Structure 1
Amino acid sequence: MKKYIYLLLLLTACQSPRQAFEAGEYDKAFKKALDRFEHNQGDPELRTLMRRSAEQILQREHDLRDQLYASDDPADWAEALDRNADLQEQLSPALPYLQSTLQFELDGLQSEYQRTRPLIYQAYLDRGRQRMLEFDTTGRKSTAQAAYFDFRHAEEYAGNSVEASLDSLLKAARKGGTLQARVELDPPFFYRFDTERALDHLAGPAGDFYQLSYNLNPAEADCVIRINFSDLDVDEWEDSSQEHYTEQVVTGYDTERDTSGNTYEVPVHEEVSGTVSYITHHKRASLSVSVNIINQSGQCTMSGCSFSDQVEARDEQIEISGDTRAIPSHITETHFSDLPDDDDLAEELIDALARRVVGCLR
């Protein structure tokens, strides 16, 4: 199966310009003919394939752009303009070889490009102004938001002829589209200071059209953001394990005599044993937070979120019993040190959860 796929890819890669053209793959045929013609100038078949492929591409793109220009949405006109620019970039490398037939088409594309840009600019500008008039009548902030993006798009296509009023229109649309959000914080009872500190910088602009504030009058709020923390949950436990060791040690010497009457000493060995006990003290703290959104004005589009996190600390004590001579030299007794207190663990959790809340709302 792999061999078949490899052969299929190989055949596709070796496809000639004519084969690509006959298969209706005009972009591929044009590129292949162009690449080969550059290394083999004068080949009349390649020149013909290049020209015929270019004609097919021009017709296809002309039809697609006509459909897009027929739309009432300037975004479709912008897509047609992008296709125009891409088409010019695709065909321009063949101009030295097809100048008699291609220059006219490329000039036409460039002329179309120059005519269309100001039309797109004006269409976005007009639609944005119309939406701002609608906002003034209805007060719907989503309409002002849409107008803001219209003016932004108009700015993209304005070129060097940006109207002096466009900047003021952008500011007015942003101001009209901005939703006000009141933040209400319910911190853990013993950690109010830490929670308020961690979320102090939450107030301010959020996203494109939200302004977050702790002190906003409830009557002025489009959204009410209620941030509720759970109480800190702390769990402590111990677990232990043991390792046993034995070792042959020299406890003395016996004197013995060989057959010649000479004496010598022989070490006396004894097996000793010892035990190493490992006691691990664990402390785990967990905390959760929920962010609930109340759509007070009917225009709030924010979404709530919830997070939980935990942090664990551990400490180990090593106890040695039995004969220490059986214990490997790298093992020594240790005693428990102090584990972090609840306040330290709570502060770490609050900071971590606060970052996630900010990421959710900003």
Structure 2
Amino acid sequence: MKYLKSVFIYSTLCCIACSSPQKSFEKGNYERAFNGALTELDKKDNSRQNKVLLNKSFEELIYHNEKENYKLVQSGLIENLEVVHANNLDIIDKYHNAKRYLNPVYDTIASDFVNRNDLLRENIALAYWDEGNTLMDVYNSTGDKFKAQDANFNYTKAYDYNIGYEAIDSLLDVSFAAGLIHVLVETNVWDMNYSWRVDNTFKNLIHLSRGFNQVHYENMISIADCRIDVSFNNIEVIENTTRETQQFTREIEDGYTTKVDSSGNTHRILNYITVRGEGVKEITTWTYNWRVRSTVRQLSPFCQMNNRHFDERGEIRHVRYDVTGDVRAVPEEYQNVTFFNRSTEEEKLINRMIDDIYDDFVQYYFR
């Protein structure tokens, strides 16, 4: 009985697995039905039901593909023609994946899809080529760099669709160079002590040229579209000192007294005294405020950057202890002397602040 029950469960699961693609087909999900039937066939389930379902699903996919493509073509938009091209590639891929199970009639249909897509690819490439040429004509007559950038986009698309014109490489280079926006950055540091460090950090900007943004640093070029003057104000340093005084008392051993009891035995009795001391905890904080202003000079209509200021704040903290009175009464923390060199700490802090200002500047203008 248990054996028959197991066989029944196994048979039921198999039927469910076989019927899942069928249910997808009945619900109009032909993509899922096609993939499900193909999966079953690849699992060596070469049932007639799966083959029929695969072919019916493929037929429906072709029908709906053609229906959608017709609407897209009517729009006349290049972008929609690209969607048609992608749709056709999907049908061609499905054909190749399932060819061994499909009716031979689809061989001719698939071949027709390939031929039509080759022609469509050429038309798309030519459309982008023509649009690129039109935009470059506008650039040549007006100097509009944004038109050159758009032309470069169109030439790139034409190249992606394998246009066979030899001039495409040259036009890609020419349109890219014509569309470059040159950004010149110059720094001005009031405190000469930090000038070298700022300069050494900001010269890394030349490595941030991306796309059509070409970044220059401290380079007197005549082709700049934007000039960003970065002015570092003097650092404002605010010093604040607080003192905490605390009294301490402590009972400590202070020798001993020898006594002889009535039996003649000698005893040592420890003597205790109370000592008093004072601990002073002096906390000095130096707060550094640094304002940096970037002023954008728009040297051409193609500069789209804005003024900005960056505020950086840092702090150095030093704790010093003094002891008066009897040091034996004061906890050890008040007696530990640590080395402190404000100049060294200040140098470390300023370096961190410059790095943070640079990161904020890059994030705002070039990310």
TM-score normalised by L of structure 1: 0.76
**Structure 2 equivalent of residue 8 of structure 1:** none
C-alpha separation between the residues in 2 aligned to 1:350 and 1:101?
A: 71
**Structure 1 equivalent of residue 7 of structure 2:** none
* Aligned residues of 1:283 and 1:339 also touching (Cα < 8 A): no
Say which is worse superposed, 142-151 or 117-126, in terms of deviation. Answer: 117-126
* Aligned residues of 2:322 and 2:334 also touching (Cα < 8 A): no
C-alpha separation between the residues in 1 aligned to 2:22 and 2:246?
A: 79
**Structure 2 equivalent of residue 187 of structure 1:** 189
* Aligned residues of 1:288 and 1:306 also touching (Cα < 8 A): yes
**Structure 1 equivalent of residue 147 of structure 2:** 143
Aligned equivalent of 1:299, options 302, 308, 312:
302
Say which is worse superposed, 39-48 or 337-346, in terms of deviation. Answer: 337-346
C-alpha separation between the residues in 2 aligned to 1:65 and 1:259?
A: 123
* CA-atom RMSD in angstroms: 3.9
* Aligned residues of 2:187 and 2:231 also touching (Cα < 8 A): yes
**Structure 1 equivalent of residue 292 of structure 2:** 289
* Aligned residues of 1:236 and 1:284 also touching (Cα < 8 A): yes
What does 1:238-277 correspond to in 2, within 5 Å?
238-240=241-243, 249-253=252-256, 262-268=265-271, 277=280
Shift of 1:146: 0.9
* Aligned residues of 2:31 and 2:57 also touching (Cα < 8 A): yes
What SS does structure 2 have at the residue aligned with 1:284?
strand
Shift of 1:91: 5.3
Q: Deviations over 1:98-129 (max 9, x none)?
A: 35365444434333333333332222222211
**Structure 2 equivalent of residue 50 of structure 1:** 54
C-alpha separation between the residues in 2 aligned to 1:90 and 1:262?
A: 112
C-alpha separation between the residues in 2 aligned to 1:304 and 1:29?
A: 58
Q: Deviations over 1:276-314 (max 9, x none)?
A: 544332222222333343444323333444422222222
TM-score normalised by L of structure 2: 0.75
**CA 1:129–1:339: 2 relative to 1, 3 Å:** same
**Aligned partner of 2:176: which letter?**
R
* Aligned residues of 1:206 and 1:212 also touching (Cα < 8 A): yes
C-alpha separation between the residues in 2 aligned to 1:326 and 1:91?
A: 93
Aligned equivalent of 1:226, options 210, 229, 235:
229
**CA 1:278–1:62: 2 relative to 1, 3 Å:** farther
C-alpha separation between the residues in 2 aligned to 1:288 and 1:266?
A: 69
- Structure 1, unmatched stretches of 5+, are 1-12
* Aligned residues of 2:280 and 2:334 also touching (Cα < 8 A): no
**CA 1:185–1:335: 2 relative to 1, 3 Å:** closer
Shift of 1:193: 5.0
C-alpha separation between the residues in 2 aligned to 1:254 and 1:205?
A: 83
**Structure 1 equivalent of residue 122 of structure 2:** 118
Shift of 1:334: 1.3
**Aligned partner of 1:75: which letter?**
E
* Aligned residues of 2:228 and 2:295 also touching (Cα < 8 A): yes
* Aligned residues of 2:201 and 2:355 also touching (Cα < 8 A): yes
